[in-house]
C-alpha cells in the first residue's frame, strides 16, 4: 500500500448512542464532503467503511459505518484515522496543499541555507503552522504557513522556500 496515494480525511471518536453510530471528525475543507469520499480505510488498510452521515455534533458528525452495528463495535473504533485514496479527492488549486504533501519537505531560506524538514503541520484555528525540525537536532521551530513566511512550495522538487520572521531560526 502506497501511503503517498492516501490522505487522512477524518477520525472516529467512539460510539454515539447504542445502535452502532459513531462520532466522526472530518478533516476535509468542506466537512460534510467526507461521506462522498467513501469507502474510507483504516490507517493500516485492513478495514474499509462506507460512511453515511446521520447528524451533526459540535466539532463533527454522527455517522453510520458499514459493518458497525453495536455500541461496543463503535467504541472499539475510537481513535481510528480514516483515509481516502488521493484520486477520490478534489484536485487542489495551485496555492493549496494536503498536509500529507508538506510533511518531509526540506525548508530553505531565501539564501539557499537548509533550515530543516517539515515534521508536521499544526492548525490551532487561525492558520496552519509548519513544525520544522532543524538539521541534526531534535529541536523544532514553528513557522507560520502564510504567503509572507512561506512564499514558495515546490512539491516536485520536494522543497519549501521560507522567508521567516527575523530571529525565528
Query: Taken in order 164, 169, 167, 98, is the CA torsion positive or negative?
Result: positive
**Average pLDDT rounded to a whole number, residues 40-64:** 93
Cα–Cα distance list, 105 to 5, 21, 133, 165 (Å): 17, 38, 11, 20
User: How confident is the model at residue 93, as a pLDDT?
Assistant: 77
Identify the CATH number of the domain defined by range 3-88.
2.40.30.60
Q: Is the pLDDT of residue 64 over 50?
A: yes
Please state the domain extents for the chain: 3-88, 99-162
Q: Is the pLDDT of residue 38 over 80?
A: yes
pTM attached to this predicted model: 0.68
User: pLDDT digit string (tens) for 114-125?
Assistant: 999 999 988 776
Cα–Cα distance list, 11 to 81, 105, 154, 165 (Å): 4, 25, 29, 34
* 141, burial (CB in 10 Å: exposed 0-12, middle 13-18, buried 19+): middle
User: pLDDT digit string (tens) for 27-36?
Assistant: 887 889 999 9
Architecture of the CATH domain 99-162: Roll (2.30)
Amino acid at each position: 500500500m502506497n501511503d503517498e496515494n492516501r490522505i487522512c480525511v477524518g477520525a472516529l471518536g467512539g460510539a454515539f448512542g447504542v445502535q452502532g453510530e459513531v462520532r466522526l471528525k472530518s478533516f476535509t475543507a468542506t466537512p460534510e464532503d467526507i461521506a462522498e469520499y467513501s469507502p474510507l480505510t483504516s490507517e493500516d488498510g485492513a478495514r474499509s467503511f462506507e460512511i453515511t452521515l446521520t447528524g451533526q455534533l459540535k466539532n463533527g458528525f454522527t455517522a453510520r459505518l458499514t459493518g458497525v452495528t453495536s455500541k461496543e463495535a463503535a467504541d472499539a473504533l475510537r481513535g481510528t484515522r480514516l483515509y481516502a485514496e488521493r484520486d477520490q479527492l478534489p484536485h487542489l488549486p495551485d496555492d493549496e496543499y494536503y498536509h500529507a504533501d508538506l510533511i518531509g519537505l526540506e525548508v530553505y531560506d531565501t539564501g539557499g541555507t537548509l533550515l530543516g524538514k517539515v515534521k508536521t503541520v499544526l492548525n490551532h484555528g487561525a492558520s496552519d503552522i509548519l513544525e520544522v525540525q532543524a538539521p541534526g537536532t531534535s529541536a523544532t521551530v514553528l513557522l507560520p504557513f502564510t504567503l509572507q513566511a512561506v512564499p514558495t512550495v515546490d512539491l516536485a522538487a520536494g522543497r519549501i522556500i521560507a522567508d521567516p520572521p527575523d530571529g525565528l531560526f
